[in-house]
Structure 1
């Protein structure tokens, strides 16, 4: 670890030790960032918790607030995962227990069974997405040091989310209709399990992979926010957050990474959720407006490059949609994403800086874009060639200062 890096970490520690955190100083330090390494994780949890309004500036209240929020999350688990054990014994209920209210074919949209089936649709999409989180590293497939004992308690006779997905998928695959309309049941064969369920080694009982924790966070979020539920891409937002908490050098933060990530993710989504709501796309708070803002900023800063992209009919939707919606989490490796997010979370105008980062990314490859045709330029924009995020952030800062 370089002396400069040690000095940066010491600066953060000094600010975070104060009885009342100096927010502007913390933002300044976070905006400038510090080197992030998968081998030497940094204590980002405290900083991001403050910048995402999970923790207040007064340190004296942290212990009670964290205890309260972590217990609240445990209550969510009990109410939304453990208690609705409707699928016990492969969703079987005895004939005498069946009533109109709890029958699986009950058409009432408010019935428990109808809710269960709808939840399964959401869960299957979440499961598909979280299993492939950050495929360039093995972290999310490894077992967490702190599995959720509340969930894995052998006294709880219910399906974990992973087992629920596997059961649901197998059921849908083993029921087939022949031409006469007769339903045939086939025994599930090993090769009938979808590749996504066999993609990673199954951990022993009592263990759970990090991706399973992320799956639970997203499922609880979807249940608590039915207006937006789960939209593909949210997994890419929660992934870096969870990684940051789950690799914190402080064992307490690692132990409670799931709950702390959930609340930070919820707060972050409260600020960027409009990007995920299709009906708001064309409003002033929607993603279309923000994409156009990237181009209007580019027009102001580099009109030649702007006109070239316009001439080739390269619309911002072709690349900026992903850049903005996922906060660049798909464009760079995880350590670089965390470094970028240090600056984004420190932005007191809340993601205005992201627009400048996107503009900087365009300007830093301007010569290639000016020379390239449509196909070459689309490849550049959808597989961004520059990996030095510090260079990008520096350029974005220059654009900010020149306003």
Structure 2
């Protein structure tokens, strides 16, 4: 307990400085941010480069970014909803659903709804192990809930029913077509909207992802982004500071933008085999496993257990689907604090495999697939300690190699 209090005081002292020492911040956060004190949300904003290190600039930065996000909500959510409800006006009297003109508001409407349908489906199942996302937020978007002419995003999806096919990459990393019809889909396990005047947290996340998709038409929304934004929004929306909770939506949006700027190549299929793509990351993982535990690597190779069968999801979603939310958040403390951005992710994934080595060396292909695709419960602190141990052993090997080369 004394050590915990001392650690808490370290965070308070560091975050109370006029200019935050980034190196010290990374070192502290790498070992985990204390749950008490409300420091995690602030630390993540700093580590994700949303807030500057100079604390005197915080207010100006927050005011500017939050106002900009509010403008996005007005432009991309509120105004189109009003136009849809009130009609497009005399200037667009010839506009109709089959109008081939690329400037047709109907064309934009259908395109938006195609993206929105997937977002809506994904956010209604976000973090099902906790009740948080289906509960109402204390700070619903007043631009929407206070204006009867503005239709909430989830209601736009139900305006029409289209049989659609979406290309997705599942846990095996294999491209396949999925046919779906939203009216025939069983939605019993979906989160349901709250009454008018209120919003569930999943509706807030839906709005953030929709705006992101609108601002990034080349990439748009890709299935799995909901798993990336979920822990960030949860962390910000449960902050002990009421003023920060009130602005969780805008702050989450900008941190999500920053994080996606670093990992977006994982979500772009055409970059899979590039140096920054997910294919290269999977190769790095297996190369690291070979270096750390050749026997295990060789066993998996002999079984033809390819990394895309399990690590595609691990790496793309930053392990957000492998553990319960509190454990994911703890892992992300270390990932965000990693000086060599996300190289620690490779070590954590390697540690997951090494910790199961004794069992996996005795298993057949099917049993090992089950372990890797449905990772068994683990003390996340033990996992991270093992990952850090692997980092240190790698650094020692590099140092030994360098010394040998110099002596020769």
Assess if the C-alpha contact under 8 Å between 2:47 and 2:337 holds in 1.
Answer: yes
RMSD after superposition: 2.1
- Measure, in 2, the Cα distance between the counterparts of 1:108 and 1:66: 40
* Corresponding position of 1:188: none
Assess if the C-alpha contact under 8 Å between 1:35 and 1:339 holds in 2.
Answer: no
* Corresponding position of 2:110: 117
Assess if the C-alpha contact under 8 Å between 2:238 and 2:245 holds in 1.
Answer: yes
* Corresponding position of 1:99: 93
Assess if the C-alpha contact under 8 Å between 1:87 and 1:159 holds in 2.
Answer: no
* Corresponding position of 2:70: 74
The alpha carbon displacement at 1:193 in A equals 7.8
Q: Given the alignment, which residue of 49, 53, 57 partners 2:53?
A: 57
- Measure, in 2, the Cα distance between the counterparts of 1:42 and 1:135: 24
* Corresponding position of 1:13: 12
For the pair 1:397 / 2:403, whether they are aligned, the reply is no
Q: Per the alignment, do residues 148 and 197 of structure 1 end up closer, same or farther by CA in structure 2, a change over 3 Å counting?
A: farther
- Measure, in 1, the Cα distance between the counterparts of 2:8 and 2:143: 35
Assess if the C-alpha contact under 8 Å between 1:41 and 1:247 holds in 2.
Answer: no
For the pair 1:157 / 2:145, whether they are aligned, the reply is no
Segments of 5+ residues of structure 2 without an aligned counterpart are 164-182, 395-408
- Measure, in 1, the Cα distance between the counterparts of 2:358 and 2:116: 45
Question: Any runs of at least 4 consecutive aligned residues in structure 1 with deviations exceeding 6 A, and if so which?
Answer: 91-94
SS in structure 1 of the partner of residue 81 of structure 2? coil
- The within-5 A match list for 1:183-222 is 195-196=186-187, 199-222=190-213
TM-score, normalization: structure 1? Answer: 0.89
Q: Per the alignment, do residues 151 and 4 of structure 1 end up closer, same or farther by CA in structure 2, a change over 3 Å counting?
A: farther
- The within-5 A match list for 1:364-403 is 364-403=355-394
Q: Given the alignment, which residue of 124, 128, 146 partners 2:121?
A: 128
The alpha carbon displacement at 1:165 in A equals 2.0
Segments of 5+ residues of structure 1 without an aligned counterpart are 174-191
Assess if the C-alpha contact under 8 Å between 1:85 and 1:159 holds in 2.
Answer: yes
- Measure, in 2, the Cα distance between the counterparts of 1:44 and 1:256: 15
For the pair 1:317 / 2:311, whether they are aligned, the reply is no
Assess if the C-alpha contact under 8 Å between 1:88 and 1:159 holds in 2.
Answer: no
Assess if the C-alpha contact under 8 Å between 1:41 and 1:248 holds in 2.
Answer: no
* Corresponding position of 2:233: 242
Q: Given the alignment, which residue of 139, 145, 158 partners 2:138?
A: 145
- The within-5 A match list for 1:213-232 is 213-232=204-223
Q: Per the alignment, do residues 265 and 202 of structure 1 end up closer, same or farther by CA in structure 2, a change over 3 Å counting?
A: closer
Q: Given the alignment, which residue of 255, 268, 291 partners 2:259?
A: 268
- Measure, in 2, the Cα distance between the counterparts of 1:204 and 1:374: 49
Assess if the C-alpha contact under 8 Å between 2:78 and 2:144 holds in 1.
Answer: yes
- Measure, in 1, the Cα distance between the counterparts of 2:40 and 2:324: 17
Assess if the C-alpha contact under 8 Å between 2:48 and 2:259 holds in 1.
Answer: yes
SS in structure 1 of the partner of residue 75 of structure 2? helix
When the two structures are aligned, how many residues end up with a matched partner?
A: 376
For the pair 1:353 / 2:352, whether they are aligned, the reply is no
- Measure, in 2, the Cα distance between the counterparts of 1:43 and 1:262: 19
Q: Per the alignment, do residues 163 and 395 of structure 1 end up closer, same or farther by CA in structure 2, a change over 3 Å counting?
A: same
Q: Per-residue CA shift, 1:91-115, capped at 9, x if unaligned? A: 8679x77633x22211123322111
The alpha carbon displacement at 1:151 in A equals 1.6
Q: Per-residue CA shift, 1:86-136, capped at 9, x if unaligned? A: 6634x8679x77633x22211123322111111100000000000000001
* 322-331 or 160-169, larger mean C-alpha shift: 160-169
The alpha carbon displacement at 1:5 in A equals 3.3
